[in-house]
Homo-oligomer: A and B are copies of this chain.
Amino acid sequence: MKRPTISDIAEAAGVSIGAVSFALNDRPGVSAQTRERIRAIADEMGWQPSAAARNLSAARAEAIGLVIARDAATLGVEPFYMKFIAGLETELSATGTALVLQVVGDHDRAVEALRSLWAARRIDATILTDLWAGDPRVAALERMGLPGILVGHPSARPAGSTVPAIWSDDAAALNEAVNYLAGIGHRRIARVGGLVTLEHTRIRTAAFKAAAQRHGLASAEVVDTDYTWEAGAWATERLLTAADPPTAITFDNDIMATAGLHVARKLGLDVPGELSIVAGDDSQLCEMTYPSLSALARDVLAYGANTARLLLSFLDGAEPSDFQDATPRLLLRDSIAPPTR
């Protein structure tokens, strides 16, 4: 009888090839129960790891891969990403682990880059950010048997996938913002959202619309953008020059909120007298504007540090599981007031 391959075992066990790879290489990504079941089936089928594969998997790269599918230049203006990377580094540096950072054009190239880093054992695991709904990279990780953690809501995970996720409750945060604005009398609130392809954009927009409906708002328009200053300015101008413009706008990041403030000033609107603004990420930008911007604030440095700590613990044998990070809270500064129109 020919030696069984991991595909044979996967078929026999009714699990993915990735799950078999995780189980047989003693890597995180499957529950203890599934691991035992897969191993029992593999033993029964006479599976033996090759010596070469064993040696390969024993050598740790002491490096984590972060492959980002974005325009490289946007990284430098997006405070979220750099704080997140700095947060990763606070944990990685403590353990002498390197971060292998690669910026690519799209998800296919991201998968390619991860495959080649993993094949050469230049990384031990990866962190996936900017998750799409049903993100194709997640299935690719499992096929490769590359351990990883998803930064984003578990709902982005394809059915049957077991890659753990670290996430925060974006829906609750959006809900808090709308509750507060409606509570002080706003009836026309708009949202300037991020990339529609991203799972968390979808979650935030759904939460925004649900809250608006609950409060019976007169209008709750959503404009989708790409997170840039230019798009934030364009969206704000479009909203404020329409008939019945909103009296409050929530933006999906800090950059777009400052752009919105800029446009409001240009149009001669007083902030917060004639327009209230909520920034979707907090950063020093929000403190430094005049008026300073109220924001959905979270500790992004801690988010990055928690992500690295969890991933390292999985590599050290901890049972992989999802982790809910702190929920962003509405931090009131000077850009919110009751409506005057």
Interface on A for B, CB 8 Å cutoff? 61, 63, 72-77, 79, 81-87, 89-90, 92-93, 96-105, 113, 117, 122, 229, 255, 258, 284-285, 288-290, 300-301
A sample of 30 cross-chain residue pairs with beta-carbon separation below 8 angstroms, ordered by A number, consists of A61-B122, A63-B100, A63-B122, A72-B89, A72-B93, A73-B86, A73-B90, A75-B89, A76-B84, A76-B301, A77-B83, A85-B101, A89-B101, A89-B103, A90-B103, A92-B103, A93-B103, A93-B104, A93-B105, A96-B113, A97-B102, A98-B113, A98-B117, A100-B100, A100-B101, A122-B122, A258-B284, A285-B285, A289-B289, A289-B290
Residues of B within 8 A of A81 (CB): 82
Main secondary structure of the interface of A (DSSP, over half): helix
Q: A76-B79, A101-B101 are in contact. List 5 more A-B contacts (CB 8 A).
A: A82-B85, A96-B113, A98-B101, A288-B289, A290-B290
Residues of B within 8 A of A300 (CB): 76
Residues of B within 8 A of A75 (CB): 82, 85-86, 89
Residues of B within 8 A of A84 (CB): 76
Is there contact, CB below 8 Å, between A87 and B93?
Answer: no
Instruction: Say whether, besides A73-B301, A77-B284, A89-B72, A98 and B98 are in contact (CB < 8 Å).
Output: no
Is there contact, CB below 8 Å, between A258 and B90?
Answer: no
Give the distance in Å from the alpha carbon of A73 to the alpha carbon of B86 in the complex. 5
Is there contact, CB below 8 Å, between B82 and A93?
Answer: no
Residues of B within 8 A of A104 (CB): 93
Is there contact, CB below 8 Å, between A99 and B101?
Answer: yes
Give the distance in Å from the alpha carbon of A85 to the alpha carbon of B74 in the complex. 11
Question: In the complex this chain forms, how many copies of it are found?
Answer: 2
Residues of B within 8 A of A93 (CB): 72, 102-105
Residues of B within 8 A of A255 (CB): 284
Instruction: Say whether, besides A100-B98, A103-B92, A288 and B258 are in contact (CB < 8 Å).
Output: yes
Is there contact, CB below 8 Å, between B72 and A76?
Answer: no
Closest B residue to A67 by CB, please name it: B98
Give the distance in Å from the alpha carbon of A98 to the alpha carbon of B68 in the complex. 11
Q: Which 6 pairs from chain A and chain B are nearest by CB?
A: A290-B290, A76-B86, A76-B83, A72-B89, A82-B82, A93-B103
Residues of B within 8 A of A63 (CB): 100, 122
Give the distance in Å from the alpha carbon of A190 to the alpha carbon of B212 in the complex. 52
Closest B residue to A66 by CB, please name it: B101
CB distance from A320 to the nearest CB of B (A): 25
Is there contact, CB below 8 Å, between B76 and A87?
Answer: yes
